[in-house]
Structure 1
């Protein structure tokens, strides 16, 4: 077995470089507040951040997925029934 591969995949390195550009000093993602410039004191590290309620979002996504599943399966069931009726009717007309 050869030596361990200590190289980071290019996609991973690109992501790490992108994160480093966003947070060169390594504090933005670590702290909720950071020192502001020129006597501002502590300021929000991510002033544009919105609160994300993952639990509610997951529940809504789950409900939407079930609604789509139910709708799609309902349409497919109706299509299958229509096809069965169509072929049964066609067989009746062909058997003379």
Structure 2
């Protein structure tokens, strides 16, 4: 699975979420950081929304926006949230 984090330099919420995502050890995923200041379309879409996290499911190109985790969520809570969304995706595709 792949996660896309829309962020910008100097965003403390973005940096905190990125640090926690990088500390998750019990879940395998690729983390892609997209700096919204590098593209006008990203900036227009996410200027007031960052951090924004998307889940790209295995074998798919489309991405699912995930609810913004609380800045107070710890690494374990963040991992549980990701597992929940991945499990829901697997359940829906098994039917």
TM-score calculated relative to the size of structure 2:
0.23
More strand by percentage: 2
Instruction: Point out the structure with max Rg over C-alpha.
Output: 1
Which one has more relative contact order, counting CA pairs under 8 Å at least 6 apart? 2
TM-score by length of 1: 0.23
Task: Give the structure with the larger helix fraction.
Answer: 1
